[in-house]
Structure 1
Amino acid sequence: MITKLEDQRHTWVRRNLVSPVVRMLRLGASPQRLAWSLAAGFVIGMNPIIGSTTAVTVAVTHLFKLKHAASQIGVHGAYPFQLLLLLPFLHAGTVLFGTSALPLEKADLLRLIHEHPLQLLRSLWMWEWHALVVWLGFAVVLMPALAMLLGHMLERAMRHPRMAVR
């Protein structure tokens, strides 16, 4: 068992992502259910609507009876990917739906804020939901693949507990 003192010597990833998952396994969580929970959290955590991840994760974990704590671990692990993929999702949405590109220049955004604030809000919402459609297509493929991969890893960790966390 990993003690708090031992846990403090390890990296943030180990303390906040790996160790809690290993503890859940040791407390009797099913590797497959845990894998689906982690995968759902990770994929939801990458969605392009910043600030929506916790609410969406709570709803999905409740609906599919997944482990909420494991899904939150997945969300926290995905946060850097959410930031990295935001602009690619927005761009892919504009390409897929054939809409105008998102103005990324400060001067363009300030001009729109002052001259056409309602038009800017409508455009922002349009770009967001187009990005969300792209993310949904991405999620449909990524979530099962990630759940299968994590399931194999967690089952192996159950069979070889000394190798799970060192």
Structure 2
Amino acid sequence: MNEPIHHGWLYRRFILPVLALLRMGASPEKLAWSIAIGLMIGINPLLGSTTILCLAIAFVFRLNVAASQLANHVVYPLEILLVVPFIRVGSRLFHTAPLPLSPGSLLKAARVNPIALTRQLWLWEGHALLVWLVLAIVAAPPLALALTPILRRLLIRIDRHQYPILPSDSSL
């Protein structure tokens, strides 16, 4: 009797849907671009904007919406981790005051002059978005080019039935 196949979270939540998209006829090239764009948009430092931005870019460039959203949501933890580094790099590149990370400093600034703090936050966020945009424009093409041969090989394995999505023994 065959043991049931147990896959990890990433395999079940990312690889299996990509394999399913390949089985449904998505081209490896378009899927690679969709994933690359989703990954790049998914790390942008403007929290809460990735889903809408990903949808818009996928529609404009006729990418696979499901694949771009999947990639976008997989990198959500990275988005959270990269907000502060994007802001710090932006403040260095654009020679603005550094972001005070202590809650006390932020609260004091909010009490003393909330409008100035709001303007400063928008400035930091704008600079962080510019840093992210340059990174995304530079990194997306090589990422898509690297993913394309991997997806082509997966498609060949799927066509030859060498890459089962479910265990061959379906009596679980």
TM above 0.5, yes or no, is yes
Aligned alpha-carbon RMSD (Å): 1.6
Amino acid corresponding to residue 15 of structure 2 in structure 1 = V
**Map of 1:57 onto structure 2:** 54
Of 50-59 and 155-164, more deviation after overlay is shown by 155-164
Cα deviations by residue, 1:59-103 (Å, 9 ceiling, x for unpaired): 101100111100011101211221221111100000110000001
**Map of 2:170 onto structure 1:** none
CA contact (8 A) 1:35 1:154 kept: yes
TM-score w.r.t. structure 1 length?
0.91
* Residue among 102, 110, 113 paired with 2:110: 113
2:83 is the counterpart of 1:86: yes
Equivalent residues in 2 for 1:1-166, closer than 5 Å? 9-161=6-158, 162-163=162-163
Amino acid corresponding to residue 124 of structure 1 in structure 2 = L
User: Any stretches of 5+ residues in structure 2 without a counterpart?
Assistant: 167-172
What CA distance in whole angstroms lies between the structure 1 residues aligned with 2:150 and 2:79? 24
What CA distance in whole angstroms lies between the structure 1 residues aligned with 2:77 and 2:7? 20
Q: How many residues align?
A: 160
CA contact (8 A) 1:61 1:71 kept: yes
TM-score w.r.t. structure 2 length?
0.88
Displacement of 1:165: 5.5
Q: Which has the larger radius of gyration?
A: 2
Displacement of 1:10: 2.3
